[in-house]
Amino acid sequence: MLFSEFIKQLKSCSIQALPSIYIFTGPAQQVLELKENGLQILAGTLTGAAAGSDTIKRFDSHSFNESEFWTELYAVPFLNKTRLVVLNVAERMDFIGKIDKQLMEYMTGKSLFTRLVIFIDTWSGVSAELNMAVSKKSWIIEYRTILDEDLPRWIGARLSAFNKSISLPAARLLAEKTGSDLARIDAVIDKLVLFHKGSQAISDDSVSDFVDMDRDFDIKELTDAIIRRQPGSALKIAKQLLQKGEPVNKIFGFLRTGLAYDAKYQNNNALLLSRYNKLLSADLSIKTGKLTEELALQMLIVRLAR
The domain spans of the chain are 3-142, 148-210, 219-305
Which of 25-34, 232-241, 267-276, 280-289 has the lowest average pLDDT?
25-34
- Checking if the pLDDT of 177 tops 80, the result is no
So what CATH class is 148-210?
A: mainly alpha
Q: Which of 33, 48, 47, 42 is nearest to 185 (CA)?
A: 33
- Checking if the pLDDT of 213 tops 70, the result is no
**pTM exceeds 0.85, yes or no:** no
298 vs 45 pLDDT, higher one = 298
d(CA 67, CA 75): 12
- Checking if the pLDDT of 17 tops 90, the result is no
d(CA 237, CA 241): 6
Cα distances (Å, whole numbers) of residue 33 to 106, 113, 118, 145, 304: 27, 25, 14, 10, 24
Q: Which of 1, 30, 24, 20 is nearest to 182 (CA)?
A: 30
Residues ≥6 apart with Cβ < 8 Å to 167 = 201, 203, 204
C-beta separation of 54 from 43 below 8 A: no
Collapse the DSSP code of 250 into the 3-class scheme (helix H, G, I; strand E, B; otherwise coil) and give the result: helix
Q: At what angle do helices 219-227 and 231-243 cross, to 10 degrees?
A: 160
pLDDT of 78: 54
46 vs 285 pLDDT, higher one = 285
Task: Please work out, in degrees rounded to the nearest 5, the angle formed at the alpha carbon of residue 155 by the alpha carbons of 37 and 1.
Answer: 60
> For 3-142, CATH number?
3.40.50.300
